[in-house]
Structure 1
């Protein structure tokens, strides 16, 4: 997905020392993080409540996984990891997540989703 800068009216693409391809693969290795990113991309530029992301992931997981355990994993593992990689903005106090826009990451995610669909 190509993102235009602010002048083009699209999502701003960040490039603070763009992580390597291997770093993108590490971030995308986890299915919950892929679901978070896919959901944020589908949502566009809006901030999403962590509860929405929790519900999306809980629907995809086995029945023995509770929304509470998904929320704990998001809060303590996945969202901080994505934030450290400068992929998202995570406001833990407000429980809101915003995707920051990374073209290379989006291409990797699309390729992984295409392979998984086959």
Structure 2
């Protein structure tokens, strides 16, 4: 963290060179991963079936996207990427996903959602 100058209202600034910050931004660059994380965070500590995440994403995507194509992307791309980043626990055999809980990731997710809403 870098101390803020008077022009920044006295707030601390996040060092954008922080490797975990860069990792979170990379994960959050994809809308489907943001939806997965938001859904898991809202769900709390419970494990969610991949089918629930598929339905959430399919409802938010254009009409020409099928739940099957969303499921394939989740299974082969997004869930493994989130798992490798230690953001989730993913059991492909049971088709269950659990959010691990990361304050930094949640702060970044809120900032990205706020920026997208503007």
Tell me if both proteins adopt one fold, taking TM over 0.5 as the criterion: yes
Q: Over aligned residue pairs, what C-alpha RMSD do you find?
A: 1.1
Task: Indicate the SS of the match to 1:90.
Answer: strand
Higher relative CO (Cα under 8 Å, sequence separation at least 6) belongs to: 1
Residue 94 (1) aligns with residue 94 (2): yes
**1:60-99 paired onto structure 2 within 5 Å:** 60-99=60-99
Task: Indicate the SS of the match to 1:38.
Answer: helix
Task: Indicate the SS of the match to 1:97.
Answer: strand
Task: Indicate the SS of the match to 1:20.
Answer: helix
Per-residue deviation at 1:20? 1.7
Corresponding position of 1:117 = 117
Per-residue deviation at 1:19? 5.1
Report the count of equivalent residues. 101
Unpaired runs of at least 5, structure 2: 1-17
Separation in 2, partners of 1:112, 1:37: 12
Following TM superposition, the consecutive aligned residue runs of length 4 or more in structure 1 with deviations greater than 2 angstroms are none
Corresponding position of 2:31 = 31
